[in-house]
């Protein structure tokens, strides 16, 4: 009877165990199907993570052919773990081979790692409980977490005090994660002295290394979460020291990737839990960027952070997060050769959300994308604000169009010059569309109509844009082909690929009466105002070609408005032309009236007064200053209107400079050479001649193009230096001391110095080139001079100062004329 009872209990126990496993299987499959929106996402997830599941008989190939491989059983995983532990205890390398001749051959089970850097000092107990549940869910989904607690807020005063604080916090963390003996609770262990600080070969800096990577990986194979303390042993000083958490994170990732066996582990996610959340976006009204492709957007976003829309302390924290992610993902991409690692920056509150479709970390594990599409317009009220940023290293984008390819743009030329591999392009198109392309017919049809060809990465994606004629015979750019390799489908690369095209493209659509409305709404969303009424400024790469002048200034642009009203509205908000406008608009508004007031009420009238022409000489200089600066202000205000208006405004701007230089030279000569009429009229004639030549060049349409910018600067410098002729002649004729008094020489030298200095800075694009993010080294933070302090603004201020110097010289000439010449 007792045996029957024992068998009965065992039978019931087996039934309960079977029920638990069956329920777990069902819940896992249902949760995966519920959280993934497409069959492809579910298949991709199961293909990657199926070997992690602890179900001995679960075969995912039975579920809609999601996978072609049978899941590795829990018993095999346990055997692999025991093998690694055995080798480690015998002082052998556990990861050299998964098996040898004396051991049972085992299937390799890779670790899918997610490294978490947590700024924990402001996390509430409720949030910690939610975070613990998130870790449980991640482990259920096959992710192996590693936790780094961020202690960067601690002062560097007492190692002992900081160590005690760390021990206390680690113990709290262990208690929060749960009791190991309780079923369903997490198991964790605290690791210290994992890192070693060694002197590099150059002895100029130290390197942080990990000598015992097994101490991190073996707990992971045992189902234990390692909590790594940021303590390192310095071999040079023989002391323990604390590490910055970003340094620790970078060193850990480097060690895992550099020493990994391809099939043994992979770093899937780098997660930063920060109360500040993701990287803020101006376009999204200070909420986070949804997705960042570092290869294409890193420099622009870094410049955006330095524009000044956020507190500098908070900005520096975001910059550190972005730089750290960029460094780590770049290293992983370089070493692994793929872009599978995803960076995630979010808040503790969001990580504590226990919903697969609302928790961005869990959702990204299941789908490898963000919760919402990054293509959703930020101006829409339906687009939810986010505090999470998904980051990928991404791929470089090559663009072949008329601006980058000087010859006739055809596929034949691209293939002949080996800029594009025809076979690989055809394979990409076949793979993307799932059918064979009629190669010869296709390339024959589009060869002479190619407008732009965009290639993403190593043939990961491509876009073919062609010119076609509408009923009126006008050429319209059409998106002919848009292909993404199947391995990259589902990743958010479409937005970045289309974003790189400068052309206005349309897709071939069936006739739809609402198409025009949707296109209008799309353009309004791209160029319109933000939800709070602030004008959305553009980056350099977003501008049309005619607006691209100074590539060292990356942001703060007013994009083409095609409206005088919209361009005039730019007077009311801050952008990178604001200082250029007002630095000349304000002086031009008052200069003529100040001179008029001076000559009528402040100028001393001598007994030997020569008549009204003396006052007119002052006034013609004042009028020239007013005209020059006003034309400059008009140009900088209306240059955003259109290419035609910008070019004409640029011509007026240079014409104003010609007028100012001519009138400046003539005004001085009329006073200082009054008693030498022949020489006076020769120099006046030369000034007018040079001014006329410069005017002809200025008003010629070709002269205003960017290609002639160095020539423009040189021409105006030479024109200004032509004023040296009358001064040199005066020194030769009258002597230096007399010329100094007769011509106001000191003030003229200062005037010339300021003019030349401004022109040189403008031609060299200094100082903004020192903050250019795409260069390997820069003296200033990227974006420092985008709004304030770039070369054109400095040139404007130096022009005002030079004009004042000329006024002082002119007044001295007037007094010398009446006191010494007459």
Residues making up the binding site for Zn(2+): 636, 792, 796
Taken in order 126, 127, 132, 138, is the CA torsion positive or negative? positive
**Per-residue CA distances from 760 to 70, 711, 716 (Å):** 70, 12, 11
d(CA 584, CA 652): 14
d(CA 135, CA 511): 50
**Per-residue CA distances from 31 to 28, 65, 342, 413, 441 (Å):** 5, 17, 22, 51, 47
d(CA 279, CA 345): 8
* 649: Cβ contacts below 8 Å, ≥ 6 apart: 631, 634, 635, 638, 639
| Torsion angle (degrees, nearest 10) of CA 421, 427, 430, 432 | -90
Binding residues: 636, 792, 796
d(CA 438, CA 664): 70
230 strand-pairing partners: none
The encoded tokens of residue 740 equal 């100094």
Task: Report the SS3 class of residue 245.
Answer: helix
H helices then E strands: how many in the chain?
26, 17
d(CA 392, CA 626): 53
- Which of 19, 27, 275 is CA-nearest to residue 150? 275
Angle, CA of 528, 529 and 535, to the nearest 5°: 115
Which stretches does DSSP call E strand in 316-375? 342-346
Residues in the chain: 822
Q: How many CA atoms, within 13 angstroms, populate the side-chain half-sphere of residue 521?
A: 10
**Per-residue CA distances from 336 to 50, 266, 306 (Å):** 22, 9, 32
d(CA 323, CA 327): 6
* Backbone angles phi and psi of 185, in degrees to 5: -85, 160
Phi-psi region of 783 (alpha: psi -120 to 50; beta: other; left: phi over 0): left
User: What are the helix (H) ranges across 141-234?
Assistant: 159-177, 214-221
Q: Which helix (H) or strand (E) holds 567?
A: helix 564-569
Residue whose token pair is 């209008």 = 520
Query: How do beta strands 291-293 and 461-469 pair?
Result: unpaired
Residue whose token pair is 């961020």 = 150
| Torsion angle (degrees, nearest 10) of CA 101, 102, 108, 112 | -130
* 449: Cβ contacts below 8 Å, ≥ 6 apart: 466, 467, 468
Exposure class string for 714-729: b at 16+ Cβ within 10 A, else e: ebbeebbebbebbbeb
Query: How do beta strands 265-273 and 239-242 pair?
Result: unpaired
- Which of 260, 276, 398, 274 is CA-nearest to residue 340? 260
**Beta carbons of 303 and 782 less than 8 angstroms apart:** yes
Q: What is the strand order of the sheet 144-149 is part of?
A: 188-191, 225-228, 144-149, 111-118, 265-273, 342-346, 389-392, 291-293
User: What are the helix (H) ranges across 178-281?
Assistant: 214-221, 245-258
d(CA 422, CA 416): 10
d(CA 655, CA 697): 9
């Amino acid at each position: 009877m007792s045996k029957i009872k024992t068998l009965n209990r065992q039978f019931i126990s087996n039934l309960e165990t079977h029920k638990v496993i069956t329920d777990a299987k069902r819940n896992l499959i249902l949760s995966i199907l519920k959280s993934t929106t497409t069959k492809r996402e579910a298949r991709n997830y199961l293909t990657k993570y199926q070997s992690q599941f602890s179900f001995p008989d679960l075969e995912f190939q039975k579920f809609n052919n999601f996978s072609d491989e049978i899941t590795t059983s829990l018993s095999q995983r346990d055997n692999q773990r025991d093998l690694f532990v055995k080798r480690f205890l015998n002082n052998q390398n556990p990861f050299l081979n998964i098996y040898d001749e004396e051991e049972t051959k085992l299937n390799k089970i890779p670790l899918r790692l997610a490294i978490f850097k947590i700024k924990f000092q402001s996390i509430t107990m409720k949030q910690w409980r939610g975070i613990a549940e998130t870790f449980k869910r991640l482990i259920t989904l096959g992710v192996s977490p590693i936790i780094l607690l961020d202690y960067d807020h601690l002062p560097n005063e007492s190692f002992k005090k900081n160590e005690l604080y760390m021990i206390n916090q680690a113990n709290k963390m262990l208690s929060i994660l749960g009791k190991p003996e309780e079923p369903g609770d997490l198991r964790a262990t605290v690791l210290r002295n994992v890192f070693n600080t060694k002197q590099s070969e150059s002895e100029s800096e130290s390197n942080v290394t990990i000598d015992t990577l097994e101490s991190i990986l073996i707990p992971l194979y045992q189902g234990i979460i390692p909590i790594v303390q940021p303590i390192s042993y310095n071999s040079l000083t023989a002391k323990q020291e604390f590490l910055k958490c970003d340094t620790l994170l970078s060193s850990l990732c480097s060690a895992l990737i550099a020493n990994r066996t391809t099939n043994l582990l992979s770093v899937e996610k780098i997660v930063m839990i920060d109360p500040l959340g993701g990287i803020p976006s101006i376009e999204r009204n200070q909420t986070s960027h949804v997705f960042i492709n570092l290869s294409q957007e890193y420099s622009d976003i870094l410049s955006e952070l330095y524009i000044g829309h956020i507190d500098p302390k908070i900005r520096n924290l975001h910059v550190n997060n972005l730089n750290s992610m960029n460094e780590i993902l770049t290293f992983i991409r370089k070493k692994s050769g793929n872009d599978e690692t995803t960076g995630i920056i979010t808040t503790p509150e969001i990580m504590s959300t226990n919903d697969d479709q609302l928790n961005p970390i869990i959702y990204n594990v299941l789908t490898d994308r963000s919760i919402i599409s990054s293509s959703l317009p930020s101006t829409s009220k339906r687009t939810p604000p986010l505090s999470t940023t998904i980051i990928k290293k991404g791929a470089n984008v090559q663009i072949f169009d008329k601006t980058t390819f000087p010859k006739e743009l055809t596929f034949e030329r691209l293939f002949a010059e080996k800029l594009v591999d025809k076979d690989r392009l055809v394979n990409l198109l076949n793979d993307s569309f799932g059918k064979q392309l009629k190669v010869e017919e296709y390339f024959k049809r589009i060869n002479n109509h190619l407008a732009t060809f965009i290639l993403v990465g190593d043939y990961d994606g491509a876009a073919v844009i062609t010119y076609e004629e509408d009923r009126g015979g006008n050429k319209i750019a059409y998106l002919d082909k848009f292909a993404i390799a199947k391995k990259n489908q589902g990743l958010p690369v479409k937005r970045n690929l289309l974003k790189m095209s400068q052309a206005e493209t349309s897709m071939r659509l069936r006739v739809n009466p609402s198409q025009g409305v949707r296109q209008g709404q799309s353009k309004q969303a791209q160029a319109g105002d933000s939800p709070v009424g602030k004008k959305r400024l553009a980056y350099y790469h977003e501008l049309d070609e005619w607006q691209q002048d100074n590539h060292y200034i990356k942001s703060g642009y007013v994009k083409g408005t095609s409206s005088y009203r919209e361009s005039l509205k730019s007077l009311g908000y801050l952008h990178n032309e604001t200082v250029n406008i007002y630095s000349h608009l304000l002086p031009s508004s008052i200069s003529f009236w100040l001179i008029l007031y001076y000559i009528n009420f402040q100028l001393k009238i001598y007994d030997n007064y020569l008549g009204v022409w003396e006052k007119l000489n002052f006034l013609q200089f004042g009028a020239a200053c007013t005209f020059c600066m006003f034309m400059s202000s008009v140009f900088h205000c209306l240059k955003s209107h259109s290419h035609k208006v910008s070019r004409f405004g640029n011509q007026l701007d240079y014409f104003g400079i010609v007028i100012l230089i001519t009138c400046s030279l003539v005004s001085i000569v009329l006073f200082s050479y009054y008693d030498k009429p022949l020489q006076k009229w020769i120099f006046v004639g030369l000034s007018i001649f040079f001014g006329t030549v410069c005017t002809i060049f200025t008003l010629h349409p070709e002269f205003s193009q960017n290609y002639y910018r160095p020539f423009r600067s040189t021409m105006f410098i030479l024109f200004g230096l032509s004023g040296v002729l009358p001064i040199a002649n005066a020194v030769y004729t009258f002597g230096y001391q007399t010329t100094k008094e007769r011509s106001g020489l000191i003030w003229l030298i200062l005037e010339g110095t300021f003019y030349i200095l401004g022109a040189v800075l403008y031609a060299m694009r200094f100082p903004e080139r020192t903050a250019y993010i795409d260069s390997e080294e820069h003296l200033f933070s990227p974006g420092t001079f985008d709004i304030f302090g770039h070369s054109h603004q400095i040139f404007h201020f130096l022009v005002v100062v030079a004009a004042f110097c000329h006024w002082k010289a002119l007044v001295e000439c007037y007094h010398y004329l009446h006191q010494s010449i007459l």
